């Protein structure tokens, strides 16, 4: 009898750990700054991480944002994102981690790689490469309460009020999320540089380089083939340049 009891005690912790998968979580928190970076949202990596997680189906918040009651009252109801960099001489190496509230790794991606020389493009490509592991992993929130048992027992008395508080705001949050993550086709995303911005598409591929001028909403522009200007007219952005002595004007959709 003692042998069976000892075996049960040993098996239960491993059984509980094995059941802790990404399917137990609806929410994911993304930090404003990853540890290997010097600035908040440097190279727009944190924003890109949030976007890619939302595309996978998670409801994602920056950890400094106003959180719904369900998470604010119990951080164990959300996974936390971490992105690690491994130094390489000619490559950028990025790994994505999703951790529970105890710091346990629930998901670890493959090591995403990029050989691009430009930092911004290289980090973005490496992160997207790492995310292919998550893309290939099936995810469907199972509706479970995902906090570890030892974390939830002390708060058992408050579980019912928390559910009641969240019941009405959730549909609003979903609608807001859909608006935030849906951009028109062809939208270019502005990434800050030392002298202006670079515009990238969802590949991500750099489409235009913008250099600031002394005039607001007026940039010197270069798409690699033509030099010109990007300016705002009547609320819309345009790229204007000369080709074969003819002035061309292309309308742009830019998300700053």
16's tokens: 């509980």
At 22-38, the pLDDT tens digits run 999 999 999 999 999 99
CA dist 162 to 145, 159, 168, 171, Å?
Answer: 12, 5, 11, 16
The separation between the first and the last C-alpha atoms of the chain, rounded to the nearest angstrom, is 67
Q: How many angstroms separate the CA atoms of 95 and 49, rounded?
A: 12
Along the 256 residues of the chain, how does pLDDT read in single tens digits? 555 545 544 544 444 444 689 999 999 999 999 999 999 999 999 999 999 999 999 999 998 888 888 898 898 999 999 999 987 778 999 999 999 999 999 999 999 999 998 888 999 999 999 999 999 999 999 887 554 444 443 444 444 454 444 434 334 334 333 433 456 778 898 889 888 999 988 888 889 999 999 888 999 999 988 899 999 999 899 999 998 889 999 999 998 8
Residue the block writes with tokens 């010097």:
38
Q: How many angstroms separate the CA atoms of 60 and 50, rounded?
A: 6
Q: How many angstroms separate the CA atoms of 157 and 161, rounded?
A: 9
Other CB atoms within 10 Å distance of the CB of residue 208: 21
Distant-in-sequence contacts of 208-217, Cβ < 8 A, 24+ apart: 208/239, 208/252
Q: 18-181 — its CATH code?
A: 3.40.50
Tell me 172's DSSP state. Answer: H
* Backbone torsion region of residue 122, taken as left when φ is above 0, otherwise alpha when ψ lies between -120 and 50, otherwise beta: alpha
User: DSSP string spanning 186-238?
Assistant: T-EEEEE-SSEEEEE-SS--EEEEEEE-SSTTEEEEE-SS-EEEEEEETTEEE
SS3 of 108, please?
strand
- Is 238 in contact with 250 (CB distance < 8 Å)? yes
Give residue limits of the domains in the chain.
Answer: 18-181, 188-255
- Spatial CB neighbours of 158, under 8 Å, sequence gap ≥ 6: 73
């Amino acid at each position: 009898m003692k042998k069976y009891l000892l075996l049960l005690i040993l098996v239960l912790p491993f059984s509980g750990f094995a059941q802790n998968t990404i399917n137990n979580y609806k929410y994911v928190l993304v930090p404003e700054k990853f540890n290997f970076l010097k600035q908040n949202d440097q190279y727009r990596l944190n924003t890109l991480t949030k976007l890619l997680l939302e595309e996978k189906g998670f409801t994602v918040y920056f950890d400094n944002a106003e959180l719904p009651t369900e998470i604010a009252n119990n951080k164990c109801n959300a996974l936390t994102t971490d992105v690690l960099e491994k130094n390489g001489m000619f490559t950028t190496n990025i790994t994505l981690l999703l951790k529970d509230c105890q710091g346990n790794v629930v998901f670890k991606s493959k090591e995403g790689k990029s050989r691009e020389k430009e930092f911004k493009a290289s980090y973005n490509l490496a992160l997207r490469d790492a995310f292919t592991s998550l893309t290939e992993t099936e995810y469907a929130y199972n509706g479970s309460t995902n906090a570890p048992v030892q974390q939830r027992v002390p708060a058992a008395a408050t579980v019912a009020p928390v559910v009641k508080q969240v019941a009405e705001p959730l549909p609003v949050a979903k609608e807001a999320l859909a608006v935030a993550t849906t951009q028109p086709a062809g939208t270019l995303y502005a990434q800050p540089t030392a002298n202006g911005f670079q515009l990238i598409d969802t590949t991500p591929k750099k489409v235009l380089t913008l250099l600031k001028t002394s005039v607001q909403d007026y940039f010197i522009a270069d798409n690699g083939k033509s030099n010109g200007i990007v300016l705002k007219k009547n609320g819309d952005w345009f790229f204007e340049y000369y080709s074969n002595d003819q002035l061309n004007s292309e309308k742009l959709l830019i998300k700053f």
